[in-house]
Amino acid sequence: MKLAAAFGKAEAESAARGVDCVEQTASAAEIEAVVAADVVDVVAAINSGLDLSDRKDARCGARLLRASGKQSKRLLRAESRRTRLAGTGKVYSPKKSTKWIKAVKGKGKASKYKRGTSKLGGRPNSFAKDWRRARCGTDTGEQDVANRLAALSDHVTFLTLVSPALDDSEFQPVSPVGPIEYQGRTLNPRCGFDDSPDYHFFVKRGSVNKVVMYYQGGGACWGNLTCGVPVCKNEANLVSDDPDNASAGFGDLSNPDNPFKDWNAVFVTYCTCDVHFGDSDMTYSGILPDVNVSHRGYENAKVAEKFAREHFLNPDAVFVTGSSAGSYGALFHAPALIEAWPTSSFNVLGDGGNGVITPSFLQNEFGNWNFEANIPTNVPGALEAISSGAGMVDYIDAVADFYNRSTWAHYSTAYDGGFGGQTGFYNVMLNDSNPFSALSWWEGTCEFNEVMIDQAVETADLASENYRFYIGAGSQHTMYGNNKVYSDQSGGEDQTIVDWIVDMIAFDPDSSDPTEWQNVECTDCETVLPGDPIPPVAQTAPFFNDMGDTVIMCSE
């Protein structure tokens, strides 16, 4: 009854502030049932081996139960304060909030934060001391009960912070309709072209208090020819975009080896041809008839961010990633997500989007998306990196330095190719934005490789504490939806992609041992792997046959 009354009061207070707590958290009855089941489990564990008809055993068992009750209270109080403080907006300013961050997280990332041991959780060894004082002959050890109590806390935390309204068996579509008010701005989500304007994204509830934000790929356009053909994904389709269709790589959440299989997931669909960060409505004139494009990628992503914040209130960890065009969505929306969930540990990975562009594109075409308008001005050097033309290297250096308790990374194959690959779009830029140059994408292969590697190495030198790169062999474009993430090291890579990502998630930027997460680069990068893009005509430079294998040979 007390729990129900407390929930009713909290829900009424939240409703008065315009927040629907009923939508966001489990009911008092649901939480009470979980607590009751976990308590029965703890009681049974403590009583194991005790003769409760014996006064001494009964007394010491009671002491252990009281100690367990106190420990549960400590753990939940710590979670409560962490969640409440997460909404203060005072965190993730390196100069102003270092002490606060350490109080919440301990040293390093939130994943290292030990409940009940920080300044928020009380004295660290209280439960252990109480256990020793009881001097019971129970068959269950102190650590076993401590783990059960931590699980109880996790269960309650999950039910209060992860919306029960979301489906946990499959992805469900969300079809937002504007106007939507968020952070002082009116958002009107839509796709880029008038023939398919409706926007949708997808969400799925997991079983742990962690979130993966994935930004879909699909090319880009920036002028009359590139948008008139077009060379980008221009609609959000409820059927073909459904992430449940994925059956390979990290997209397959049924794979037991998938590190994200139990995470909550937000799949940010792409249909605006602006790498998820455009904020302009353009009419492109030229050789083709006028083309009207609503580059609303920024607004669409912000609507997805708003939904995620309202349904995953305070995740322990957030993994921000995306493939191809979605790589830029991840890298450029991550700062806002870090500000939105300030006590969460963060890992940011761009898959197949390394920012290899030409000076001509940057000077003449890039401005069409109005990209600079939403670069965070609170991050020293971030806006300047884009506005000055310094590009991805300086941008990553700026955000990785400012958000120095997060990790940042790029993945690419050495010769990322294909019509929609990085060399395809780079070749379009090399040829005055002629979209048909993507058909001969291999012509840009060697120059792309040189620039991409130089940028990766330079970024790793500048942001060595919390940035890494992985360069795999061959010409495959992106890895997220490919099963090679679990096993492939055929190019001489030191690690599989999945092991590298697991190390990334576990890495503590405060660690004295930076080798816990390393840069990975192929040693036999030129070998084209089965299924990799190759030119339609054999022996087309720089793709050649070598003893039955296709290899890429660039002149020195």
* Per-residue confidence band for 108, with pLDDT thresholds at 50, 70 and 90: very low
pLDDT at site 9? 79
* Residue 458 reports pLDDT greater than 90: yes
- Residue 25 binned pLDDT confidence (cut-offs 50, 70, 90): confident
Tens of pLDDT along 432-450? 999 999 999 999 999 999 9
Q: How far is CA 228 from CA 234, 247, 435, in A?
A: 11, 32, 9
Q: What is the pLDDT of residue 192?
A: 98
Mapping DSSP onto H, E and C, the string for 57-112 reads: HHHHHHHHHHHHHHHHHHHHHHHHHHHHHHCCCCCCCCCCCHHHHHHHHCCCCHHH
Type of residue at 92: Y
Task: State whether CATH 3.40.190.10 applies to domain 172-552.
Answer: no
- List phi, psi (to 5°) of 407: -115, 145
Q: Which residue's structure tokens are 């840009």?
A: 444
Q: What is the pLDDT of residue 129?
A: 85
List Cα–Cα distances, 110 to 41, 119, 258, 308, in angstroms: 28, 14, 21, 19
Whole-angstrom distance, CA of residue 87 vs CA of residue 372: 27
Contact 303, 182 (CB under 8 A): yes
Specify the 3-state DSSP secondary structure of 366.
helix
Please report the pLDDT score of residue 556 as a whole number: 66
- What pLDDT is recorded for position 104? 33
> Across residues 79-84, what is the average pLDDT?
78
Question: Can you tell me which residue has the tokens 């100690």?
Answer: 67
Assign 112 a pLDDT band (cuts: 50, 70, 90).
Answer: very low
What does pTM read for this prediction?
0.89
Q: Provide, rounded to the nearest whole percent, the portion of the chain with pLDDT above 90.
A: 68
The angle, 0 to 180 degrees and rounded to 10, between the axes of the packed helices 142-161 and 28-47 is 180
| Banded model confidence at residue 379, pLDDT cuts 50, 70, 90 | very high
pLDDT mean across residues, the chain = 89
Which pairing describes strands 185-187 and 180-182: parallel, antiparallel, or unpaired? antiparallel
Segments making up each domain of the chain, as ranges: 2-161, 172-552
The sign one gets for the Cα dihedral 532, 477, 537, 544 is negative
Cα separation, 241 vs 165, whole angstroms: 22
Q: What per-residue confidence (pLDDT) applies to 87?
A: 62
Q: What is the mean pLDDT of residues 69-74?
A: 88
> CA 272 to CA 191: how far, in whole Å?
5
Q: First CA to last CA across the chain, in angstroms?
A: 77
How far is the CA of 77 from the CAs of 11, 63, 210, 311, in angstroms? 19, 21, 20, 21
What distance in Å separates the CA atoms of residue 164 and residue 168, rounded to the nearest whole number? 9
